[in-house]
Amino acid sequence: MSEQKTVLILSTFPHQIIKFSLENIGKQYQTLAYQLDKYIRVNAGNKFKIFHQILPPRGTSTRIKNSDEYKKFNCGDFDFIIVCDNRGLYYRPEEFADYLKLKARKAVFTFSSNNAMVGKEDVLFYMVPSGKRNKKGCKFLGWTCDSMLCTSKQLRWKVQILIDHNYYGRHINMVEKDLTENITLQTCDFAKTYKGREIVIRRFIAGGVETMDPDNPTEQVKYIQGKGLSYKEACDVYSNTDVFIVTHTECMGLSVLESAMAGALIVAPEEYIKDELLKYVHHITFKDTIDWEKVIENIDPIKSRKMVMRFDITNFTQRIVDVMNNIDAHKENGLRFKNSHK
């Protein structure tokens, strides 16, 4: 029997303060750290022994470098170290990356939406099928979500519509493209005139999700990332959603994927979601005005879920396990992966 390999997962989750559970996780890469722990075990059995540690904060300034988080950081030797954060090493001091590479017997991994910027990691796993396909040290994984959490629980006598939150970043052109207010008004107008099933309108907001009164829609408040629902709570909301409406241009479109996995029809403004994702999702697009008759006709939870099963977390994690199992061969090949962006 081969010797058990060790894996250290570094994430920003405060392990020493609260329990590492989905009920306490609200951030994307903390969720991914949890999923990697669970599904590496599912996919590889006892082949890997997994450990967790807190990842020091992002930044490369002298103040960050000299902070206690970096000065006091130390870890043992592991076969693999997974830095579970967006461009986990690119945005952190080079000395920290060098230290981790000394502590990893086999390889250091990080993640990002694309492969445009690469740090000192051995392998960057990326999700968006764009850029150079065979860039050294870059392995395409694609998007993912958990089909066991994003389940279909729609009610036949209701049409439950979920409006995404507004854009929360600082790019002016993205702010100007945000359609949350317009979409909210269109949805409320539809709810007031529709004569079929009961219409329930919900919207992601800072702090969670609100159920809206079509006759008195509340004013939108700027969304604050990380101040909303836990990942499990968000999945529960998706699972009761018939229609998910995109409000702003998306980089990754994870909420689109999670809603679709839960059985929702995706309604998106034209060119707001990357075609590489949208073509695999049961959806309709609109230019200015939502065609509600078309929306109602196309609600099909079984079709929505079936179309995105290729993105299930078990498939995503298996690709990482495959890289770990064959890391020596990949190194001999110069860490150049045969990525397909189709």
Residues 20 and 136 in one domain: yes
Q: How far is CA 108 from CA 99, 182, 263, 270, 333, in A?
A: 11, 45, 36, 39, 17
Residues 237 and 122 in one domain: no
The structure's pTM equals 0.90
Residue 191: pLDDT over 90: yes
Q: Which amino acid is at 29?
A: Y
Which regions of the chain does DSSP assign to beta strands (E)? 5-11, 48-54, 78-86, 104-112, 123-126, 138-140, 158-163, 198-205, 208-211, 243-245, 265-269, 283-286
- The boundaries of the domain holding residue 39 are 5-144+312-332
Q: Per residue in 112-150, pLDDT tens?
A: 999 999 999 999 999 988 788 889 999 999 989 999 999
Given this model, what pLDDT does residue 220 score? 64
Residues 306 and 163 in one domain: yes
Question: Does some domain include residue 149?
Answer: no
Residue 251: pLDDT over 70: no
Phi and psi at 102, nearest 5°, equal -70, -30
Residues 123 and 224 in one domain: no
Residues 166 and 297 in one domain: yes
Residues 85 and 212 in one domain: no
Given this model, what pLDDT does residue 229 score? 83
Mean local confidence (pLDDT), 9-14: 97
Residues 36 and 164 in one domain: no
Question: Does some domain include residue 280?
Answer: yes
Given this model, what pLDDT does residue 169 score? 52
**Whole-number mean pLDDT of the chain?**
92
Question: Does some domain include residue 152?
Answer: no
**pLDDT tier for residue 248 given thresholds of 50, 70 and 90:** confident
Distance CA 228, CA 15 (A): 20
Residue 225: pLDDT over 70: no
Long-range contacts of 97-100 (CB under 8 A, 24+ apart): 97/121, 99/73, 100/75
Given this model, what pLDDT does residue 57 score? 96
Total tally of structural domains belonging to the chain: 2
Residues 70 and 58 in one domain: yes
Q: What is the CATH number of the domain that holds 59?
A: 3.40.50.2000
Question: Does some domain include residue 151?
Answer: no
**pLDDT tier for residue 86 given thresholds of 50, 70 and 90:** very high
Residues 175 and 115 in one domain: no
Q: Per residue in 148-175, pLDDT tens?
A: 999 999 999 999 999 998 755 565 665 5
Residues 264 and 321 in one domain: no
Residues 180 and 306 in one domain: yes
Given this model, what pLDDT does residue 217 score? 78
Residues 306 and 165 in one domain: yes
Question: Does some domain include residue 153?
Answer: no
